Amino acid sequence: MLAADEVDEALLGHLQLVAGRVAKDLGLEEKGFRLVTNNLKDAGQVVFHLHYHLLAGRPFG
């Protein structure tokens, strides 16, 4: 991710753990979920800052 630097390493790891907790709170630990971050316009990013999308509730192709 181009918006992140080495100084963000601990924060990014923390975000992964929090995303897992949110998924568990939503009851997604058995069916699964997808955690996505896009980087820049050609990847579909429309809000140009680092953020995650937790996607679930349907099969992904």
- Please check whether residue 14 is in contact with residue 51, taking contact to mean a CB–CB distance below 8 angstroms: no
pLDDT given at position 11: 92
Residue 51 designated active-site: yes
Three-state DSSP class for residue 39: coil
The pair of three-digit structure tokens given for residue 15, joined into one six-digit string: 């975000």
Place of tokens 């997808």: 34
List 14, 49, 51, 53, catalytic entry? 51
- Domains of the chain in start order, with CATH, are 6-55 (3.30.428.10)
**Dihedral (Cα; 51, 2, 46, 59), 10-degree rounding:** -60
Q: CB atoms < 10 A from the CB of 25, how many?
A: 9
pLDDT given at position 1: 57
* Tens digit of each residue's pLDDT, the chain (61 residues): 577 889 999 999 999 999 999 999 999 989 999 999 888 889 888 878 888 899 998 888 8
pLDDT given at position 45: 84
